[in-house]
Amino acid sequence: MINKVLFLFIIFFLINNKLFSQKKDSLETQYFMETNLEEVVITGQITNTNLDSSVYKVKIIGQSILEKDVFQTVADVINFETNLNLKQDNILGSGVEIQGISGQNVKILIDDVPVIGRLNGNIDLSQILLHNVYQIEIVEGPLSVNYGTDALAGTINIITKKNYNKKVNFGVNNYYESVGRYNNSFDLVYKSIHHQFSFELARHFFDGWSPNDDFTLLPQNTLADTNRYKLWNPKEKIFGKFQHIFNREKFNSRTYYSDFYEKVTNKGFPRLPYYETAFDDYYYTYRKNVGTEIASAINQCNIRLILTNNNFRRIKNTYYKDLTNLNQVLVSDISANDTSSYNMIMSKITITPIDKSSSIDYQIGFHYNNQIAKGQRILNNQEVQNDYALYSNIEYKTGNLLIRPGVRFIYNDKYKTPIIPSINTLYNFSGLKYRFSYAKGFRSPTLKELFFTFNDINHDIVGNAELSPENSNNYQLNIFFKKKLEVYQFDLELNSFYNSIINKIDLIPSLDNPNQYKYYNINELETMGLSSNIKVTNNIVIINVSYSRIGIRDFDYHSKYDFSNNFRASLLYSINDYTSFNTFYRFTGSEKKYILEDNNLNQFNTDSYNLLDCSLNMNFLNKKITFNIGVKNIFDVEKINSISNPSGVHTSNNTIANISYGRSYFTGFNIKL
C-alpha cells in the first residue's frame, strides 16, 4: 500500500509541473545541475555553498582525481584519504573508518539518500562504482542533525552526474587490470529544452586472485584442484540506471530507477583424503532503488522534497560439489543457506528562504524512515521500524563571523531517542579561517542488533530488544590558510578533533548464558587526533600532502590512548595539453590490537605498510578519447600481520589481514562523444 502511495505521489508531481510557471531563478543550478567549479559543497548545507564559505570542514574529491582511471570504486579512492582507513573483507567487502570510529557510525549517502544493507556494520563501498560519479564529499564528525542515525563519525555523500551540455551525449569506458579485472560501462544521454533522459549500464568482473596465479590476458577456467581456491574471491557486478530530469522555470524534478547485482564466488578447498569434493559458497547481492527529487519555489521559499524506496537483498547458498564431474547439490543444512532483505521508504522535505540578503538564513526539515527487515535470522522472520524527525538549522552572519546552531527532534517506535543539538562557527581573521564545532552524535540500534537470532554448530547469537541508542560528543577545531603566490596557490589546513561515544553497542558473551553471544550497551569509546594538509596548485601541477595521528581509547580493553600515524600524498602533473602523470601514496602506521584469550587480555601490534599507485593519462580530439596506463601497489604489499582483525572475519587466518592482491598493471580506454 505504501509503495502505491509513493508511486502516485511521484506521478502527481510530474503531471502537474506546469502549475509552477514562474520566472526562472537559480533553482536549477542549486539542486540538479553541477557547475564547472569543483569546490561547491552540497552535503549538510542550507544552500549549495562555496567550499571556503562552508561552516563545515569538507573534503571534496572531484573530477581532477576521479577521471584518472586509477580508481574504479568509491572504496578505491577512499583508501588514499586522510583520517579515513579502509577495512577489507573477502566476503563482506570494503568498510571505512573515520576518525578512528568504525563503519557502523559512518553515514553513506548517494545524492543525500542513505545507502542501506550493512553487513557486519559496514556498507560495502566497493559496490559503489565511479563511472557515474561527479564528486565525493566527506564531512568528518557528526551530521546527525541533518541526517539522523549513523552520521556519528562522519558522512560520505556521493554526488552523481546530472548535467550534460550537449543535446546527445555518448560514453564508453573500458578498463583492464592484470590481476583479472575487466570493467566496462556505457552511458547515453538525450537533452532537450526542459527534459533530460539518461541511461547507464556497467559491468565489473574480477576473476579472483591467489599468490600462485599465473598471468592470463583473458579469464580462463581453472582446474578442479587445490588451485581453485582464491585468496581474493571472484566477483561480478552489474549496474544499471535510468534517470529523467525536468527543468521548467521554478519547478524541477529528478526521477530515477537503479538496479545493482553482485555475485561473489567462494570456491572451497578440496576435501581430504582424495580431494574429489568441496563446499562452494555463492553470495548474491541485489539493490533496487527508485526515487524522485522535487524542488520548487513557492511563497518566497525554496522547497525540496525527496521520496525514495530502497531495497537490499542478500542470498547465501552453499553447494556440495563433486570435482570429478562438476555436479553440485544445494546443502540441506538450513544454517548454510540464508536470504535476508531490507527495505527502506524515506521521505524528506526541507524549506529554505529565497531571499539571501538577510543576515539570517534558515532551514526547516521533516524526515521519515520506514525500515523492514526480513529473513530466517530475524526474530519472527520480519521486523518493522518507523522513525520520524523534525530538524532545523539557523545561520547568522555578522561581519567575519558565521554561527550555525541546529537541533533534531526524533520519535522512534522501537526505542527512546534523545534531542540532537549542534553548533558550528566560522570566523575569518587576518587571512585565516577558524572553524569550531560541537555536535552530538547519534546511532540507533539496527534491526539486526535488536532482533537478530542465529544458532548453529558454530554460532549462537541473539539480538537485544532493550538496547539504547549510542550517543556521542564531538569537538573539532579547524584552521585554514590560503595564499596566492604569483602563479601558485598555497593552502594549509590544521585540524583537531575529540570524540566520546557513550552506550557503545557491541557483541559480547551473554550475561545469562556464557556460551551465547548477545548485543549490549557497554563501555565508552574515545578517539582524538590531529591532522594537517598542505596543497600547492597552479595550471600544471596539484600537490597534496597530509598527515594524521589518531588515538583510540576503548575502555573495554585499555585505559590509555593507543595512537597510530598515517601519511598521504598525491601528485597530479600536466606534462602538456594532452598528457598528465599522476601518483597516489599512502603510509599506514602500526596499530595496537587486543585479544581476550582465556580471560587474559593480550596486546599485539599490526604491521605498518606503504601503498603507491601511478598512472599516465593521454587524451585526444579535445578529450573525446582518453587512454590510461598505470601501476597499482608498486611496493607489492599483499598482507600484514594482525590479530583478530574484526574486519577480516572471512580471511583464512585471523592473524593475517589481507591488504591487496600485489602489484598489478592496468590500462583504460574511454570515449566521450
Q: SS3 for 26-83, per residue?
A: CHHHHHCCCCCCCCEECCCCCCCEEHHHCCCCEEEECHHHHCCCCCCEHHHHHCCCCC
| Top-confidence residue, 147 or 555 | 147
Lowest mean pLDDT among 337-341, 545-549, 566-570: 337-341
Sequence letter at residue 281: D
pLDDT for 597 equals 58
- 328-380 pLDDT, tens digit per residue, is 999 988 777 888 899 999 999 999 998 877 889 999 999 999 999 988 888 78
CA distance 130 to 74: 6
**Number of alpha carbons in the 13 Å side-chain half-sphere of residue 193:** 2
Which DSSP symbol is given to 101? Answer: B
Show the cell assigned to 293. Answer: 527529487
Per-residue pLDDT at 644 exceeds 60: no
Q: What are the residue ranges spanned by the domains of the chain?
A: 2-672
Instruction: Identify whether the C-beta of residue 164 lies closer than 8 Å to the C-beta of residue 191.
Output: yes
Residue with cell 594532452: 578
Average pLDDT over residues 267-283: 91
Q: What percent of the chain has pLDDT over 90?
A: 52
Lowest mean pLDDT among 104-118, 133-147, 182-196, 547-561: 547-561
Helix, strand, coil percentages (3-state) for the chain, rounded to 5, are 10, 60, 35
- The Cα-based distances of 630 to 65, 287, 330, 572, 617 in angstroms read 14, 32, 42, 13, 9
Instruction: Identify whether the C-beta of residue 519 lies closer than 8 Å to the C-beta of residue 552.
Output: no
CA distance 349 to 551: 38
293: closest CA among 27, 3, 41? 27
Sequence letter at residue 579: T
Per-residue pLDDT at 461 exceeds 50: yes
- The Cα-based distances of 245 to 133, 192, 194, 290, 630 in angstroms read 17, 10, 8, 14, 36
Instruction: Identify whether the C-beta of residue 581 lies closer than 8 Å to the C-beta of residue 575.
Output: yes
Instruction: Identify whether the C-beta of residue 145 lies closer than 8 Å to the C-beta of residue 424.
Output: no
Residue with cell 534531542: 419
Residue 218 pLDDT class (50, 70, 90 cuts): low
Would you call 551 helix, strand, or coil by DSSP? strand
Per-residue pLDDT at 515 exceeds 80: no
| Top-confidence residue, 201 or 100 | 201
Average pLDDT over residues 86-95: 84
431: closest CA among 359, 490, 357, 495? 490
Q: Give me Rg for the CA atoms of the chain.
A: 25
Which DSSP symbol is given to 25? Answer: -
Average pLDDT over residues 206-227: 76
Q: Are strands 460-462 and 517-521 parallel, antiparallel or unpaired?
A: parallel
Per-residue pLDDT at 38 exceeds 60: no
Lowest mean pLDDT among 20-29, 495-504, 533-542, 661-670: 20-29
Average pLDDT over residues 420-432: 92
CA distance 481 to 466: 48
Can you name the CATH fold of 2-672?
Maltoporin; Chain A (2.40.170)
- 286-312 pLDDT, tens digit per residue, is 999 999 999 998 888 999 999 999 999
Sequence letter at residue 596: L
Which DSSP symbol is given to 320? Answer: E
- Per the prediction, the chain carries an average pLDDT of 86
Per-residue pLDDT at 575 exceeds 80: yes
Residue 652 pLDDT class (50, 70, 90 cuts): very low
What lies within 8 Å, CB to CB, of 371 at 6+ separation is: 116, 342, 343, 344, 384, 385, 386, 387, 447
Per-residue pLDDT at 454 exceeds 90: no
Residue 152 pLDDT class (50, 70, 90 cuts): confident
State CA 257 to chain mean position distance. Answer: 19
Is the bond preceding 273 in cis, omega lying within 30 degrees of 0?
Answer: yes
CA distance 67 to 70: 8
The helix (run of H) or strand (run of E) holding residue 203 is strand 195-206
Show the cell assigned to 50. Answer: 562555496
- The Cα-based distances of 516 to 307, 455, 456, 459, 504 in angstroms read 41, 9, 11, 8, 19
Q: Nearest 5°: CA angle at 224, between 221 and 230?
A: 75
pLDDT for 458 equals 60
The helix (run of H) or strand (run of E) holding residue 3 is helix 2-15
Which of 77-86, 348-357, 388-397 shows the highest mean pLDDT?
Answer: 388-397
Residue with cell 528562504: 353
Instruction: Identify whether the C-beta of residue 39 lies closer than 8 Å to the C-beta of residue 59.
Output: no
CA distance 25 to 352: 15
What is this structure's pTM?
A: 0.90
pLDDT for 595 equals 65
CA distance 534 to 481: 10
Q: What are the φ/ψ torsions at residue 235 (nearest 5 degrees)?
A: -140, 140
624: closest CA among 66, 170, 130? 170
Q: What are the φ/ψ torsions at residue 200 (nearest 5 degrees)?
A: -130, 145
CA distance 401 to 395: 10
Average pLDDT over residues 448-472: 80
